Structure 1
Amino acid sequence: MWVTTERVGYWREYFLGKLKIYSGELLKGKIMANYNVYFSPTGTTERVVKHMGESFGSMENIDLSRRDMKNHEMKQGDFCIVGVPSFGGRVPGIATERLRKMKGGRTPAFLLVTYGGRAYEDTLVEWKDVLEAQGFVCIGAAAIVAEHSIAHQIEAGRPSAQDYDELDTFAAEVKERLKGNVCPVEVPGNRTYKEYKVLPMDIQVSDECMGCGSCAESCPVGAISFEDPKMTNGEACISCMRCVEICPQSARSGNPEKVQMISEKLKMICQPDKANEFF
């Protein structure tokens, strides 16, 4: 049987049409896999990311703070919520390093930054740049106010129930965005990022330490000795306060003088009850 030009043209248009429908459906609410991705030393960012993830069904969790984190490759039809705390107006360097183990294929992603009530400055735009360089499309973003990880009296108790309600409302909007054409969102910040500085907290360990090694096991940068957990490498430490947060004996703390200095400075410059921002 002879194959006519018209017949070839018919089947060509038929299969191209099917391909167009299929590729469009991948990004129109028919998500193949969902991921909660977070760098969360003290647990706040993780809780916020997972709360938002509840609006999207079953989620796989990827913890960027784990030193044994494996490589991950996402597809175009997947969806990621990617959260990080702001450290002095920047993305923590180790979070960027770990995120580079993830590869997207024009995968839609929602950016989430938590910050302790002062300012997130260049964190959102830097996080967006890192994600886009890895093949993700940033379709939405949020800057969520959280209790400060060092000066706990600053924005104490945040995120609150109201904060989570706001996040739920915005999650519904993000779900609608996923049903249409996926377009990148613009976020505030400077692309000559501010200088990244780690404020040394000179972590102290009291006699209550049992040497259990929980801190050494969970330190994102491996700054704590397994052989003697009372020993912390001050040059490697990023002052993330994870070891202080998880110690079962409350034996670890920041240098009291530095904590007091930070607290007093923040009380002078931070406005209480700061609003969350959504993009």
Structure 2
Amino acid sequence: MENVQRNTKGELLPIEEIKDMNIYEITFSPTGGTKKVADFLATELSQEIRCIDLSNGNEDFHKFSLTNEDTAIVAIPSYSGRVPSTAAERIAKIQGNGAKAVIVCVYGNRAYEDTLVELQDIAQQAGFSVIGAVVAIAEHSIAHRYATNRPDKEDYEHLRAFAEQIGNKLRRNDFSTPAIPGNRPYRKAAPTGIVPKVTKACIQCGLCASKCPVGAIDKNNPAKVNKKVCISCMRCITVCPHHARKVNGLLLAIVNMMLKKACTVRKECELYL
């Protein structure tokens, strides 16, 4: 048997070149958990990776235009069972032009509900052809006691196996869309409302303001936050080198109590092909 595959134009393509295909990694990951998953999948599939950071509020996403020869990993966290509205708006600006997409939903071990099916719709509306979907778990961005240190070794073993199956599907030129779980219409989006507060440790370095995905923090006065703009992504807490931003202790205790029942049992990664 000839050790080759064909691309979408019917041209012969060596398997070695398939391994080295360009992968666009399109990721919204304010606290880094989603990016860990996307990075791992991307490097398992290719050595040539182009990153588009949906968390960068200063980026012009209209300038990104893919082709039907490209493959993209589109990864976002689940916010109360939905795609973060900021990520949805930015994905919609990218021109998919028939590029194959593996959509990835990462959640904090509670539930992802309608996130994956909503992400499928958003990607398809942007012109992507969804050929696979992955669900993974990362440490909860607010209640860190849940899914602590995940993705872990077991998760990465699952993700490695998933990447191999995704690669095999691409090699077969099988660009079919899998059945993806979720409901249409989607569940009602939950309000955010958890706005980190500044502590006395703040030296007003401005890093939190420059890294905020939605520009909710005043660059001249980091203690000032536009609560209507803040999406409770917790990036300001993650990037602060002085640990000078925190969630109110009582509010955090309530969140932990509300999540306890749903988050106690370990959830596992899922693949849809």
Same fold by TM-score, threshold 0.5 exceeded?
Answer: yes
What is aligned with 2:10? 24
Unpaired stretches in structure 2, ≥5 consecutive residues: 1-5
Letter in 1 for 2:126: Q
* Aligned pair partner of 2:72 in 55, 75, 80: 80
Residue 39 (structure 2) pairs with residue 50 (structure 1): yes
Which residue does 1:111 correspond to in 2?
Answer: 103
Alpha-carbon distance between aligned partners in 2 of 1:113 and 1:21, rounded to the nearest angstrom:
28
Contact kept in structure 1, 2:7 and 2:13, CA below 8 Å: no
Residue 202 (structure 1) aligned with residue 230 (structure 2): no
Q: Residue 186 of structure 1 aligns to a residue in which SS?
A: coil
Shift of 1:38: 0.3
SS for the counterpart of 2:56 is coil
Q: Does 1:228 align with 2:221?
A: yes
- Distance, in Å, in 2 between the alignment partners of 1:181 and 1:139 is 8
Q: Structure 2 counterpart of 1:227, which letter? A: N
Q: Rg bigger for which structure?
A: 1
Q: Distance in 2 between matches of 1:167 and 1:32?
A: 19
Equivalents in 1 of 2:21, 2:146: separation in Å? 40
Moved more, 118-127 or 148-157: 148-157
Any stretches of 5+ residues in structure 1 without a counterpart? 1-19
Runs of 4+ in structure 1 deviating by more than 6 angstroms, as ranges, are: 26-29
Letter in 2 for 1:88: S
How far off is 1:270 after superposition? Answer: 2.3
Deviation at 1:201, TM superposition (A): 1.2
Matched, 1:263 2:253: no
- More helix by percentage: 1
Over the matched positions of the two proteins, sequence identity in percent amounts to 38
| Alpha-carbon displacement from aligned partner over 1:72-96 (angstroms, at most 9, x marks no partner) | 1100110101100000000000001
Kindly tell me: are residues 116 and 27 of structure 1, through their superposed partners in 2, closer, same or farther at Cα, counting changes over 3 Å? farther
Which has the higher mean CA deviation after the structures are superposed, 269-278 or 120-129?
269-278
Structure 2 counterpart of 1:184, one-letter code = T
Question: What letter corresponds to residue 251 of structure 1 in structure 2?
Answer: A
- Distance in 1 (CA, whole Å) between partners of 2:232 and 2:127 is 30
Aligned residues: CA RMSD: 1.8
Superposed CA offset, 1:28-78 (max 9, x none): 964753111100010111111011111122101110011122221100110
Distance in 1 (CA, whole Å) between partners of 2:260 and 2:12 is 48
Alignment of 1:1-279 (within 5 A): 23-25=9-11, 30=18, 33-55=22-44, 56-70=46-60, 71-179=63-171, 180-279=173-272
Report if the CA contact (8 A) 2:21-2:48 is conserved: no
C-alpha distance 147-25 of structure 1, shift in aligned 2 (>3 A): farther
Distance 1:137 1:22, change over 3 A: closer
Task: Using the TM superposition, give the Cα deviation of residue 129 of structure 1 relative to its aligned residue in structure 2, in angstroms.
Answer: 0.2
Partner of 2:3: none
